[in-house]
Amino acid sequence: MEINIIHEKKYQQFTVVLGEEEAELAYSLPAAGMLDFTHTYVPESARGKGIAQKLIEEGLRYARQNGYKIQASCPVVKKYLQTHPEQMTD
């Protein structure tokens, strides 16, 4: 399954279109230089296929490339970072 992630800056989210449904990783910019991942959603029909992980990896890549410090209000992102501490930015 090919996963095409779209960064919708206007809506502050990374999105994967899955037919009529969407998976998303939402974020906010609570302070200068800070990116907070606030919400992850994958429709039930698409769970267990690694979509949330791909969204998180893309969000972290974007944060690193743009010099953001990361905050994870979303428990899914927080758990991912606990198991992949190398993904954290300074």
Q: Domain with 51 in it: what CATH number?
A: 3.40.630.30
Beta bridge partners of 17: 22
| Other CB atoms within 10 A of residue 16 CB | 21
Q: How many domains does the chain have?
A: 1
Query: Locate tokens 């300074």: which residue?
Result: 90
For residue range 17-52, what is the model confidence (pLDDT) as tens digits? Answer: 999 999 999 999 999 999 999 999 999 999 999 999
**pTM score, two decimals?**
0.92
Residue 5 has pLDDT above 60, yes or no: yes
Find the Cα–Cα–Cα–Cα dihedral 90, 88, 25, 44, rounded to 10°: -160
Residue 30: domain span: 5-87
Contact predicate 8/16, CB 8 Å:
no
- Which of 48, 72, 65 lies closest to 82, judged by CA? 72
